[in-house]
């Protein structure tokens, strides 16, 4: 059984394989499956955007399709940047530019609690759709710390691991990350589906 992941991120592919591979499922990117689709994220929530991505890929194949949408929600900013996290500093902005904009907005703010959120969605060939959420809470640092990870990882401090995500190893981050929690929750929801048990 093959699962197509709507991502080009090799790290995400490995993370999905680590969870769903135990069912004997082969995880491939849409690109490796020969599907090249530009998806416009027009949803008003993480769930809606993850479903838009998964449905867009599912139109071109007969495989199970998995997609996710993630973002950083800062309490003092009313939940921003939220679903606009990737475009927070403008289209094509670098990770460092996004972080710089966030720190500028947070200057002088003492209440710095925040959370990373992921919505994961699976669309089956017969049209069934299953979604799950994952989140990890922490707070925004005054300055970047660490060189690992990507996006807002250098300024997101996780109390659970006692360091910024950019200071953490992949193993440490994945043990508490919003994406791994969403993927594990999704796994629990669909692991006993006939299509999944046939792959074992």
- Residue 199 is predicted with a pLDDT of 53
Number of domains in the chain: 1
Q: What is the pTM of this model?
A: 0.91
- Residue 195 is predicted with a pLDDT of 80
80, 74 Cβ separation under 8 angstroms: yes
Instruction: Show the low-confidence residues of the chain (pLDDT under 50).
Output: 200
**Residues with Cβ within 8 Å of residue 13, at least 6 apart in sequence:** 5, 7, 27, 28, 29
In the block, tokens 């209440």 appear at 111
CATH number of residue 131's parent domain = 3.90.950.10
Catalytic member of 32, 36, 69, 126: 69
Q: 22 lies in which domain range?
A: 2-197
Asked about 126 being catalytic, the answer comes back as no
> pLDDT by residue (tens digit) across 134-149?
999 999 999 999 998 8
- Residue 9 is predicted with a pLDDT of 81
Q: Cis peptide before 165, with omega less than 30 degrees from 0?
A: no
179, 18 Cβ separation under 8 angstroms: no
- Residue 154 is predicted with a pLDDT of 97
- Residue 43 is predicted with a pLDDT of 94
DSSP characters over 36-87: --------SSHHHHHHHHHHHHHTT-SSEEEEEEEEEEEGGGTT-BGGGGGG
Please list the residues that pair with 133 across neighbouring strands. Answer: 119
Query: Which residues of the chain form beta strands (DSSP E)?
Result: 2-5, 26-29, 64-74, 113-123, 129-140, 156-158, 163-164
- Residue 198 is predicted with a pLDDT of 65
């Amino acid at each position: 059984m093959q699962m197509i992941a709507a991502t080009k991120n090799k790290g995400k592919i490995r993370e999905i394989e680590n969870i769903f591979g135990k069912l004997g499922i082969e995880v491939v990117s849409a690109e490796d499956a020969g599907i090249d689709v530009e998806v416009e994220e027009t949803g008003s929530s993480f769930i809606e955007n993850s479903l838009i991505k998964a449905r867009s890929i599912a139109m071109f194949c007969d495989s199970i399709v998995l997609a996710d949408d993630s973002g950083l929600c800062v309490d003092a900013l009313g939940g921003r940047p939220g679903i606009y996290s990737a475009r927070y500093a403008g289209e094509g902005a670098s990770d460092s530019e996004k972080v710089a904009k966030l720190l500028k907005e947070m200057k002088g703010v003492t209440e710095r609690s925040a959370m990373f959120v992921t919505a994961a969605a699976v669309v089956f060939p017969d049209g069934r759709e299953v979604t799950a959420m994952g989140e990890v809470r922490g707070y925004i640092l005054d300055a970047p710390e660490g060189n690992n990870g990507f996006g807002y990882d250098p300024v997101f401090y996780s109390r659970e691991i006692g360091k910024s995500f950019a200071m953490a190893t992949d193993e440490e981050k994945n043990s508490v990350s919003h994406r791994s929690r969403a993927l594990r929750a999704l796994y629990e929801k669909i692991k006993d589906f006939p299509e999944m048990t046939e792959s074992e």
